[in-house]
Amino acid sequence: MKSLLKKADIAFDDYNPFEDTIENINEYDPDQGERILGRYITEDLAKRYFAMFWGRDDVYAKRGKNGRYFPQCDNRWNDALCPKQRGEKVFCDDCEHTKWTKLDLKKIISHLVGKKEDGTDVLGVYPLLPDGTCRFIVFDFDNHEKDAEKTDFANTDDEWHDEVDALRKMCEQNDIKCLVERSRSGRGAHVWVFFKRPIAASLARNFGFLLLDKGSTSINLKSFHYYDRMYPSQDVASYIGNLIALPLQGQALKSGNSAFVDENWNAYPDQWKVLLEETEKLSLEDIEKYMSKWQIELAEARGMIVSTATGSRPKPWKKKKGFTKKDVVGKIHMVLSNGVYVDTLNLMPRLQNQIRSMAAFDNPEFYKNKRLGYSNYYNFSTVYLGKDIDGYIRIPRGLKESIIEECEKAGIGIEITDKREKGRPIRVSFNGDLRTQQDLAAQKLLSYTDDC
């Protein structure tokens, strides 16, 4: 193949993906903490740091000994004013005596130095400013299940690693400069995108959504959590909103965590140089330019006409959902077993994501809480019933007919292999106590058949 391409004077990338994988593994440094150069923290450095992670300065959160983060209030330990001090369950946002503690340079320096081994000097910032604007968006890939704070929100599987790599590739393909931070636990990550000036949080979120929509045409999305863990998560500042833990925390840096990492997940030796000298911020003009470009490209791919004047993203319910024949090399191969398994080997990422989306539906609990104004910290807006397993996408068996129908509409051939257990007849007779014999027959039946 290489010889033919050279004769035809056709350019091509000459690399071996297997060698690349091995090289990446060998390049990972097991001692991440030793890689990081120390830096004396001055007030000027702390100011420049907060200029990057510029959230609200009239309130901030602090990590407790139990791993949870709490907004700080001047009246928290006042018996006469604080309901919590009296054992009452009241949200701080609803308390008439709430007086938020302001964030100052001394607290930021304590976070960066990290003297306390229990992590109680770790800060969390609220990205949504009081006027409904923000200076950055961040995608959070930590574990947010209940009680996850006991292990610093560490993930229990490795899927988050692939998700972060996919998002990094999306940013690279679309010329977006992002900064990937390995979080405090070492088992999660935050992906940061910075703005030169405050922009409306609604615009920033639409920018993030469009980035994901555009990226999903060429990069596999193996879950739908990207869309839920983008902060700020609100468009309007009715309350203080969600917080995000700040990076470069002194204590965690000793283990190479709370640190910015490269594509091989190695911590950059000079963290401050990467943050302050090499990280580019996006202007409002940059954001509008990217959004306009992506809207047009997405509309053309879906056979739609979209006006770019409104600055809004294409509506999901108006997307063209049909399969496209050019996204398949040959036929779609489907295996029926304890689910519908679709072989991804010959499918383009766009079609793979379309198949995955068929196994996703709106989470009614999320939207009920949203209408009532309740927290959705532990809820995702989408419930996903699919799973990627060894090169196959497994989706519920009830979607088999839908996939076949979409393939027929697009003129895509489909090859189905049935691996389901069909069972076989057995001879039984009943003597004595009927209930006992029924139980014995049921046990015998189970021994001859597999669970479908």
Task: Catalogue all structural domains in the chain, each as residue range(s) with its CATH number.
Answer: 2-302 (3.90.920.20), 321-418 (3.30.780.20), 428-452 (no CATH)
Residue 6 CB coordination number (10 Å): 11
Rg (CA), the chain: 26
Q: What distance in Å separates the CA atoms of residue 373 and residue 435, rounded to the nearest whole number?
A: 53
Q: Which among 248, 245, 251, 246 is positioned nearest to 116, based on CA atoms?
A: 251
| Size of the chain, expressed as the number of residues it contains | 452
**Which pLDDT tens digit goes with each residue over 119-131?**
999 999 999 999 9
Q: What distance in Å separates the CA atoms of residue 222 and residue 164, rounded to the nearest whole number?
A: 11
Q: What is the mean pLDDT of residues 376-402?
A: 87
What one-character-per-residue DSSP string does 349-401 give? HHHHHHHHHHTEEE-HHHHHHHHHT---TT--SEEE--EEETTEEEE-GGGHH
Sorting pLDDT into bands at 50, 70 and 90, what band is 20?
A: very low
The answer to whether 189 touches 226, Cβ cutoff 8 Å, is: no
Q: What distance in Å separates the CA atoms of residue 195 and residue 176, rounded to the nearest whole number?
A: 11
3-state secondary structure 199-261: EEHHHHHHHHHHHHHHHCCCCCCCCCHHHCCEECCCCCCCCCCCCEECCCCHHHHCCCCCEEE
In this prediction, residue 91 carries a pLDDT of 82
Mean predicted lDDT score pLDDT of the chain: 85
- Specify which residues 360 forms β-bridges with: 384
In this prediction, residue 19 carries a pLDDT of 39
In this prediction, residue 435 carries a pLDDT of 59
In this prediction, residue 242 carries a pLDDT of 87
In this prediction, residue 310 carries a pLDDT of 41
The answer to whether 126 touches 55, Cβ cutoff 8 Å, is: yes
Q: Which among 191, 192, 185, 188 is positioned nearest to 249, based on CA atoms?
A: 185
The answer to whether 242 touches 234, Cβ cutoff 8 Å, is: yes
Range among 89-103, 121-135, 373-387, 423-437 rated most confident: 121-135
Q: What is the mean pLDDT of residues 374-386?
A: 77
Q: Residue 306: is its pLDDT beyond 60?
A: no
pTM, 2 dp? 0.77
In this prediction, residue 307 carries a pLDDT of 43
How many C-alpha atoms does 271 have within 13 Å on its Cβ side? 30
Q: Residue 279: is its pLDDT beyond 60?
A: yes
> Is pLDDT larger for residue 171 or for residue 94?
171
Q: Residue 290: is its pLDDT beyond 50?
A: yes
Q: What distance in Å separates the CA atoms of residue 166 and residue 383, rounded to the nearest whole number?
A: 20
| The one-letter amino acid at 88 | E
The answer to whether 120 touches 97, Cβ cutoff 8 Å, is: no
**Which pLDDT tens digit goes with each residue over 87-139?**
888 888 888 889 999 999 999 999 999 999 999 999 999 999 999 999 999 99
Ranges of H-type helices in 220-329: 250-253, 271-276, 284-302
